[in-house]
Amino acid sequence: MADTIRERHERRLKALQKERNPYEAQWQELNDFIVPGRYRKGDARDPKGINGNKKIIDNSPKLAHRVAQSGMQAGLTSPTRPWMRYSITDKDLREFGPVKDYLYEATRRARERLAVSNIYNCLHSGYGDELLFGQFCLILTRAGRRLHGILPPVGQYWLAQSQYGMRVDTCYRRVWMTVEQIVGRWVAKPNSRDMDWSNVSSTIKNLWDRGNYDEVVEVFNAIEPRSARDPARPTKANKPFMSNYWEAGQDRDKMLEVSGFDRNPLIAPRWDVVGEDVYAATCPGMDALPDVKMLQTEQRWKGMGIEHQVRPPLVAPTSLRNKRNSSLPGTVTFVDEQSVGTAAYRRAFEVNVPLGDLAADIDEAKRRVDRAFYADLFMAISTMEGVQPRNQFELTQRKEEQLQQLGPTVERQHHELIQPLADWVFYQLDDDNELPDAPQDLQGEELNVDNISTLYQAQLAVSTGSIERMVSFVGNLAGARPDAVDKLDVDQAIDEYGDAIGVVSTIVRSDDKVKAIRDERVQQQQAAQATEAAAKLAPALRDGAQAAQALSATDDNGGPVELLRKLGIAG
């Protein structure tokens, strides 16, 4: 007997759970020692980190994580500045006016659609998970015409990647839903009071009938490529990517929903992976964990040392055992006069904690944690010594070496986050007929996504510096050899520099517009030269006309003397 859809899903879910198990112990430690509440083990009654600060004494790692999280959002996908643009490979065609305008307008509309969605909020939270656990998973959906993102907590999903490991294409996740949510989505019919209870268990119906609308129920969702489908049937159950829901632990042949997506809805960037692993092998949180543990231990030691000095353990004579006595400041303990010499409180033992050395070691541990989270890089402006940089270029020049350390991570974010997200938004615009009319020249051209985020531009600081040095060198050389300027293609230098710093394409004219402007300027110069030449030639023509008139007159009167007189040469 063939397996049902649900049986296949549950079998694969067990395999995915087995693959993720080795990572869970470390994720729990990262959650407990750095940012409690971000890892959910799956229990619906989990307090979700409300009382999760029991292992944290020094919150410096949490602050470093927060700085890095904000830095990733501002540096990679800031809502306030361009961070991606659509482009094509053909450079000449890319500089063609209509094509350039189309790419700019498509980019602008994509950013506008993202700005009114919740995707930026999801990305900000996702960067926190990636910094701490090494990856996050974002599910791209629609809420009517509005783009919508779903960010399941770490611990509530299981991943698998495509055949060649290029991108995550499978996500099984646990969803905790109330009875009211389940009934509203899968039982109640739209625009009707009718109820269809055929896809839910009797447990749901009984809870609904008893009025337990807020009772939490465990539901699973499977998103993965659909291998067996009929492309000729454009139904939800035949879409390229399936998205199926079922209620955990109930009737094994029932599915809450069998649906799907037209394209891969999963965005799951990893910080760094080894081989064909699905989950990240390392990330800032993992790198910082040993120092975080040592930091908490040393802070505990320092606190104990200070407490031993401020509130030391005391010894007192047995004569005070049954008498009123107190060691609090300002209190008085009454003793007999003959016992004064032996009744004093004394320290039980001397504690000489080298607090200075301990504090220095704690500061060093904090610096290592900051370096692990790149917090020192993201806080470069506020912590930089000397005169503060006035612009992003100066900051980039000062921190170029540190910025290069983020290069591999930024490249991975481009391939696993920025590019698939921009592609997905483009297809949504196309589905909604919100893209501008494409020029005929773009037929057959493959659309690319350029990363123009702040962090990516920082990686290009070397290229912009080389362009500036080259232009400066040629300028200096032209002082001795003016023809050296002929070697420099100024137009291409401007284009390359603009691309490197991610300048808005509309402020750099396309090659055809530049050619038209220069042709018009040449025509104007030629017209001006012709006018000037005509003005210079007019007196000569006037004198020539007078000479011709005088010559004709001499033919009547005769004699060269008369000719010279008419020309004003002879009196």
Q: Who contacts 61 (Cβ-Cβ below 8 Å, separation ≥6)? A: 33, 34, 288, 292, 295, 369, 373
Directed axis angle between helix 5-33 and helix 119-133, to 10°? Answer: 70
Cα separation, 79 vs 205, whole angstroms: 44
Cα separation, 157 vs 220, whole angstroms: 10
Note whether 268 and 138 are within 8 A (CB). Answer: yes
Directed axis angle between helix 419-431 and helix 97-115, to 10°? Answer: 100
Q: What pLDDT, on the 0 to 100 scale, is given for residue 410? A: 87
Tokens of 284: 């800032």
Select from 157, 86, 145, 151 the least CA-distant residue to 120. 151
Q: Who contacts 305 (Cβ-Cβ below 8 Å, separation ≥6)? A: 351, 353, 355, 358
The order of strands in the sheet holding 257-261 is 157-161, 168-178, 216-225, 241-247, 257-261
Provide the H-helix boundaries in 373-444: 375-378, 380-383, 392-398, 400-405, 407-413, 419-431
Tokens of 122: 């999801």
Directed axis angle between helix 119-133 and helix 97-115, to 10°? Answer: 80
Strands (E), 133-273: 138-143, 146-150, 157-161, 168-178, 216-225, 241-247, 257-261, 266-267
Alpha-carbon torsion (474, 476, 477, 479), positive or negative: positive
Distance of CA 455 to the CA centre of its chain: 9
Render each residue's pLDDT in the chain as its tens digit; 571 residues: 457 889 999 999 999 999 999 999 999 999 999 999 899 887 656 655 556 678 899 999 999 999 999 999 998 999 998 899 999 988 888 888 889 899 999 999 999 999 999 999 999 999 999 999 999 999 999 988 899 999 999 999 999 998 776 789 999 999 999 999 999 999 988 777 788 898 899 999 999 999 999 999 999 999 999 988 777 787 888 899 999 999 998 777 789 999 999 999 999 999 999 988 999 999 999 999 999 999 999 999 999 888 888 888 888 777 777 777 777 777 777 766 555 555 567 777 777 878 888 899 999 999 999 999 998 888 765 455 544 444 555 555 555 666 677 788 888 999 999 999 999 999 999 999 999 999 988 888 889 999 888 888 777 766 677 788 888 888 888 888 888 888 888 888 887 787 777 676 677 887 778 888 888 888 888 888 888 887 877 776 666 666 556 556 555 555 555 545 555 555 5
Note whether 57 and 33 are within 8 A (CB). Answer: no
Using alpha carbons only, give the angle 185, 186, 190 rounded to the nearest 5 degrees.
65
Residue count of the chain, please give it: 571
Q: Who contacts 60 (Cβ-Cβ below 8 Å, separation ≥6)? A: 295, 366, 369, 370
Cα→Cα distances 244→21, 144, 182, 264, 568, Å: 24, 19, 14, 14, 109
Which residue in the block uniquely carries the two structure tokens 């920025």? 418
Q: Is 19 exposed, middle or buried (0-12, 13-18, 19+ CB in 10 A)?
A: middle
Note whether 98 and 439 are within 8 A (CB). Answer: yes
Q: What phi and psi values does residue 402 have, to the nearest 5 degrees?
A: -70, -40
Q: What pLDDT, on the 0 to 100 scale, is given for residue 282? A: 94
- What does DSSP assign to residue 415? I
Q: How many CB atoms lie within 10 A of CB 401?
A: 7
Task: Report helix, strand or coil for 250.
Answer: coil
Note whether 327 and 345 are within 8 A (CB). Answer: yes
Note whether 110 and 82 are within 8 A (CB). Answer: no
Q: What pLDDT, on the 0 to 100 scale, is given for residue 189? A: 83
Provide the H-helix boundaries in 210-354: 284-310
Note whether 119 and 149 are within 8 A (CB). Answer: yes
Which residue in the block uniquely carries the two structure tokens 């646990």? 174
Which residue in the block uniquely carries the two structure tokens 């007929």? 433
Distance of CA 492 to the CA centre of its chain: 30
pLDDT tens for 26-48 read: 999 999 999 998 998 876 566 55
* HEC letters along 93-162: HHCCHHHHHHHHHHHHHHHHHHHCCCHHHHHHHHHHHHHHHCECCEEEEEECCEEEEECCCECCEEEEEC
Which residue in the block uniquely carries the two structure tokens 């209870």? 197
87's enclosing H/E stretch is strand 84-87
Using alpha carbons only, give the angle 112, 113, 114 rounded to the nearest 5 degrees.
90
Tokens of 229: 């489908």
Q: Who contacts 23 (Cβ-Cβ below 8 Å, separation ≥6)? A: 279
- What does DSSP assign to residue 530? H
314's enclosing H/E stretch is strand 314-315
Tokens of 251: 């009737």
Select from 268, 263, 244, 277 the least CA-distant residue to 168. 268
